C-alpha cells in the first residue's frame, strides 16, 4: 500500500534518491537565503524596521540549506545538479511570481510595493513549506537520521509563516490591502500549478532511480494531479487567508544554530 511514510522511507533508504532529494532541498533553501539577504539589503527607508526580520528569514533558509548538505555528508554523498524541471524557485520566477533575480541583483532600493509583493508571495510558499514539514514530522520526526533536522526546519517554517501573516495584516491596515489580495491570489494559483509540475518531475526522477514499476508511477502521478484538482477547485483559498498568528514576533531576535548538523 502506498503512503507518504512508505514513499519517503523508500527515498531515504536509497543513496541515489536520498542524494537527489537533499540536493533539491539544499538548492532551494540556499536560493531562498540569497533572495532574503538581497531584499533585506534593498528595503526602502520607509520599511527599514522589516530589514532585521527579513535578514533572519534569510539566515534560517541558509541554515536549512546547510542542514541538507550535512545530511548528505553524513552518508558520504556529494550534492548533485538539480534538474531544471524540479527547480521550484526558478519556475516560480519564470511565472512572474515574487521579485525577479534581475531586480535583486541591482543596487537600487526596492519600493514599498515590492516588499508587499515579497511578503504576499512568501505567505503562499511558506504555507507549502510548513505543510510539507508538518507531514514529514508526523511520519519521520523520530527517524534516527533525519528526524532532528526535520523537526528543526519545521519549527522555522512555522515561524516564517507566522511572520508573513503578522506583517501582511499590519500592511493591510496601512492601506496595502488591495495589492496584498491581488498578489496572494495570483501567487497561489501559479504556485499550485508549479508545485504539481515539480512534484510530477521529482516523482519521475525518483521512479527511475528506484526502478518503480509503471503502475506505481502512474498511481503516484494520478495522486499528484488529484491533489492539484482539489487545490485548483477550492484548496488554494487557504493559502491566501490571513489571520493573527499565535507566534507574534516570530522572527525577532537572532537565528538559532544547529550544533552537530550544520
What does the pLDDT look like over 227-248, one tens digit per residue? 999 999 999 999 999 999 988 9
**CA-based nearest residue to 262, from 153, 135, 143:** 153
Phi and psi at 81, nearest 5°, equal: -60, 145
CA separation for the pair 59, 44 (Å, rounded): 20
CA distance 117 to 179: 8
Query: What CA–CA distance (Å, rounded) separates 213 from 106?
Result: 48
Mind listing the pLDDT tens digit for each residue in 11-26?
Answer: 999 999 999 999 999 9
CB 74 within 8 A of CB 81: no
45-54, 112-121, 167-176, 250-259: least confident range? 250-259
| Annotated domain spans of the chain | 4-239
At residue 256 the predicted structure's pLDDT band, cuts being 50, 70 and 90, is low
pTM: 0.93
Q: Is the pLDDT of residue 141 over 90?
A: no
Q: DSSP H helical segments within 43-176, as ranges?
A: 51-74, 88-94, 101-105, 112-140, 147-171
pLDDT at 1: 57
The CATH code belonging to domain 4-239 is 1.20.1260.10
What distance in Å separates the CA atoms of residue 13 and residue 62, rounded to the nearest whole number?
A: 25
C-beta separation of 115 from 39 below 8 A: yes
Q: How far apart are the C-alpha atoms of 159 and 156, rounded to whole Å? A: 5
Sign of CA dihedral 248, 250, 251, 254: positive
Report pLDDT for 145.
Answer: 83
Beta-carbon contacts of 81 under 8 Å, excluding residues fewer than 6 positions away, are: 23
All three cell numbers of 230:
482539489
Coil, helix or strand for 43? coil
pLDDT > 80? residue 260:
no
Q: What is the DSSP string of 162-219?
A: HHHHHHHHHHIIIIIHHHHHHHHHHHHHHHHHHHHHHHHHHHHHHHHHHT--HHHHHH
- At 262, the pLDDT band (50, 70, 90 cuts) reads low
Per-residue model confidence (pLDDT) at position 99:
94
- In tens, the pLDDT along 67-86 reads 999 999 999 999 999 999 99
Tell me the C-alpha distance between 125 and 28, whole Å.
12
Assign 143 a pLDDT band (cuts: 50, 70, 90).
confident
pLDDT band at 133 (very low <50, low <70, confident <90, very high): very high
d(CA 136, CA 147): 9
Amino acid at each position: 500500500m502506498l503512503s507518504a511514510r512508505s514513499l519517503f522511507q523508500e527515498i531515504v533508504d536509497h543513496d541515489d534518491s536520498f542524494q537527489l532529494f537533499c540536493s533539491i532541498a539544499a538548492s532551494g533553501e540556499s536560493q531562498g537565503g540569497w533572495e532574503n539577504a538581497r531584499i533585506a539589503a534593498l528595503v526602502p527607508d520607509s520599511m527599514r524596521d522589516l530589514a532585521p526580520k527579513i535578514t533572519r528569514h534569510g539566515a534560517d533558509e541558509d541554515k536549512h540549506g546547510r542542514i541538507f548538505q550535512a545530511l548528505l555528508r553524513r552518508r558520504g554523498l556529494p550534492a548533485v545538479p538539480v534538474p531544471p524541471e524540479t527547480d521550484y524557485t526558478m519556475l516560480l520566477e519564470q511565472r512572474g511570481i515574487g521579485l525577479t533575480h534581475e531586480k535583486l541583483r541591482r543596487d537600487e532600493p526596492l519600493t514599498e510595493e515590492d516588499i508587499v509583493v515579497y511578503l504576499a508571495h512568501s505567505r503562499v510558499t511558506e504555507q507549502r513549506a510548513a505543510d510539507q514539514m508538518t507531514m514529514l514530522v508526523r511520519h519521520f520526526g523520530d527517524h534516527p537520521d533525519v528526524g532532528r533536522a526535520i523537526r528543526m526546519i519545521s519549527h522555522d517554517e512555522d515561524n516564517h509563516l507566522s511572520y508573513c501573516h503578522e506583517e501582511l495584516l499590519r500592511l493591510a491596515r496601512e492601506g496595502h490591502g488591495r495589492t496584498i489580495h491581488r498578489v496572494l491570489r495570483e501567487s497561489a494559483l501559479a504556485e499550485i500549478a508549479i508545485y504539481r509540475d515539480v512534484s510530477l518531475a521529482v516523482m519521475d526522477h525518483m521512479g527511475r532511480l528506484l526502478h518503480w514499476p509503471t503502475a506505481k508511477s502512474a498511481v503516484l502521478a494520478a495522486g499528484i494531479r488529484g491533489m492539484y484538482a482539489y487545490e485548483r477547485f477550492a484548496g488554494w483559498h487557504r493559502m491566501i487567508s490571513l489571520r493573527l498568528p499565535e507566534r507574534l514576533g516570530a522572527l525577532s531576535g537572532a537565528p538559532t544554530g544547529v550544533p552537530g548538523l550544520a
